[in-house]
A and B are shown apart, each in its own frame.
Chain A
């Protein structure tokens, strides 16, 4: 039990269960319906995918503020690719590839110019948003989704059979892959080493530059994939989409045990963090809370979760 409670995802799991129980009490007829649980899982996919990438970046000691803009740009690229006559798979691949390129750009700027990641991605956040608007002629881009929308559709229709939408399975599979990457592979351990102490890692012979680049490319590709899922939900390319998404993603990672100063973070925790945010959003809708109350509530829950986590950390240190 003690072992279990030390896992970084233990705190967020408690929070997820507590908030679930609370809304189940407040809206007993609707909140626990299986349709609602399915809908929540589906609505968590986009933040989850981006949060997996952000977890790696934050473990490495960086941050990526360009996630929201990357997602918006990707929805536009996917719409444009589909519109140009390509199939669903090509368009999805183009979206992920674009994300990876954006990540490479972020990584190269961070390692090459030796600028702070916060500054670099603040710049690319604005530049990519502008690129998305330009590419979309400042309006939403209509395109026939050609089946891409089934990624996020609830099963039961023609594409059903696996209980959850394909997008949810994709997010879960990638979470397992990247959790294993951090825990068991050599480059994964290097990411933690760089985030814990950059100088020590460098002295120990860790290829810091290469590790940093890899991390940003992964984060970019994950943001691109999130953008593909976003397009699957919207079925239009929207250059003004996902403004502020990066903050939600960072909140998910931090709730999940990530640290803004690097060296710490958990993929599983980040997923639970993302789920917690969706729970609050959906629960507020079920209970009928006005938007302003919901926003205050979200902020308060994040702060409480963080404060408790810090308290637990200290308790562990002294005990």
Chain B
């Protein structure tokens, strides 16, 4: 009887394993002969969102170029903190060569990363920072620079026309806060008057839309008293876009937002949005794995690595590099 149980389970497992392959690269000429290839665990915050697919593709590109093996494994449920902690522990116990991690929380992952470092497994953090000294490097968008990039463009648009408003995203969100600060610096540097910078859009598109409407009303945007607006993420940008369209201000108001979705890109095409600042998730995945490999080979790596951001405007949106960001072709890496 108990042999029956074992056999049946083994059969199921064997069937499940059949047909899925690991991302093992062909060994390159450069890898030190005879030694096992490096095996690097890459742990994103989730696996189904477009953003993480691009990160995955970038990581695969690095693994193929450098002749290392990557194991791509995120929490089963998108954004599940406990499962992410379990994964870090599990890879630590497994003794992988290194762990590349996008932490879901800046404190909760600290002790697991410390334990990994204690077991001589180096950790590279990417996308979001960790309140720790135990990781080798932090590879992510420099959000302050990204905010500056966007608002330098906005400042050119509105310079002699009037003041600007900044709709913030949410209290306690570090990445967007840095974008807002970068933006304000750029606007002030160009001498643009800040009409409002203390309103928050909140977590959803719905709340961002309401906040946008009342902000535009309060500042007298329909009477031409506002020359430009900046929004620091997808939901605030979309909420603002709708509010601007409703108030018949599309095209009359300088508008720079953040992140891309089909509707936002259509907004750029239609002229309602003057620019969108985009992160580069593909490059993030690529550089994170590359940084880990450099560290494992004994090279010195920087504590902080910027993965860059790009400004998309109506003028440049058909350039190949921008197109790749807007509609990444991931199939060659993920198949």
Instruction: Enumerate chain A interface residues (CB-CB to B < 8 A).
Output: 5, 10-11, 14-15, 17-19, 21-22, 26-27, 29-31, 33, 35-36, 38-39, 42-43, 138-140, 142, 149, 153-154, 230, 233-236, 238, 240-244, 281-282, 285-291, 293-297, 300-301, 304-305, 308, 312, 315
Complex-state Cα separation, A140 to B77, whole angstroms: 17
Complex-state Cα separation, A289 to B94, whole angstroms: 15
Instruction: Chain B residues near A296: list those with CB within 8 A.
Output: 16
Interface residues of B in 75-129 (CB under 8 A from A): 76-77, 79-82, 85-87, 89-95, 105, 107-108, 110-111, 115, 119
For B89, the closest partner residue in chain A by CB is: A39
**CB-based contact B77/A244 at 8 Å:** yes
For B70, the closest partner residue in chain A by CB is: A288
Out of A43, A238, A286, name the residue touching B94 (CB < 8 Å): A286
**CB-based contact B2/A287 at 8 Å:** no
Instruction: Enumerate chain B interface residues (CB-CB to A < 8 A).
Output: 1-2, 4-6, 8-10, 12-13, 16-17, 20, 22-23, 47, 71-74, 76-77, 79-82, 85-87, 89-95, 105, 107-108, 110-111, 115, 119, 172, 203
B121: shortest Cβ distance to chain A, in Å? 11
Complex-state Cα separation, A31 to B82, whole angstroms: 21
Instruction: Chain B residues near A291: list those with CB within 8 A.
Output: 47, 73-74, 76
**CB-based contact B95/A35 at 8 Å:** yes
Instruction: Chain A residues near B16: list those with CB within 8 A.
Output: 289, 293, 296-297, 300
**CB-based contact B85/A234 at 8 Å:** yes
Out of A235, A293, A301, name the residue touching B111 (CB < 8 Å): A235
* Secondary structure class of chain A's binding surface, majority of residues: helix
**CB-based contact A149/B111 at 8 Å:** yes
Instruction: Chain A residues near B94: list those with CB within 8 A.
Output: 27, 30-31, 33, 36, 285-286
Complex-state Cα separation, A42 to B82, whole angstroms: 13
Instruction: Chain A residues near B6: list those with CB within 8 A.
Output: 14, 17-18, 21
A281 touching B73 in the complex, CB below 8 Å, given contacts A142-B107, A154-B115, A308-B5: no
Interchain residue pairs A-B with the least CB separation, the first 5: A18-B6, A39-B93, A36-B93, A30-B94, A14-B2
Instruction: Chain B residues near A282: list those with CB within 8 A.
Output: 90
Instruction: Chain B residues near A244: list those with CB within 8 A.
Output: 77
Complex-state Cα separation, A234 to B10, whole angstroms: 34
**CB-based contact A300/B12 at 8 Å:** yes
Complex-state Cα separation, A281 to B110, whole angstroms: 22
B5: shortest Cβ distance to chain A, in Å? 5
Excluding A234-B81, A304-B9, 17 further A-B contacts by CB distance (< 8 Å) are A5-B1, A14-B5, A22-B9, A30-B93, A30-B94, A36-B93, A39-B90, A235-B108, A244-B77, A285-B90, A289-B17, A291-B74, A293-B16, A294-B76, A295-B76, A301-B9, A308-B4
**CB-based contact B89/A43 at 8 Å:** yes
Instruction: Chain A residues near B105: list those with CB within 8 A.
Output: 140, 234, 236, 238
Instruction: Chain A residues near B22: list those with CB within 8 A.
Output: 288
**CB-based contact B93/A35 at 8 Å:** yes
Instruction: Chain A residues near B79: list those with CB within 8 A.
Output: 240
A48: shortest Cβ distance to chain B, in Å? 14
Instruction: Chain A residues near B81: list those with CB within 8 A.
Output: 140, 234, 236, 238, 241
A10: shortest Cβ distance to chain B, in Å? 8
Q: List 17 A-B contacts (CB under 8 A).
A: A15-B5, A18-B5, A22-B13, A38-B93, A42-B89, A43-B86, A153-B111, A233-B85, A234-B85, A241-B81, A241-B82, A288-B71, A295-B76, A297-B13, A301-B13, A304-B8, A305-B5
Complex-state Cα separation, A306 to B81, whole angstroms: 30
A203: shortest Cβ distance to chain B, in Å? 38
**CB-based contact A285/B87 at 8 Å:** yes
For A154, the closest partner residue in chain B by CB is: B115
Complex-state Cα separation, A29 to B211, whole angstroms: 56
**CB-based contact B108/A281 at 8 Å:** no
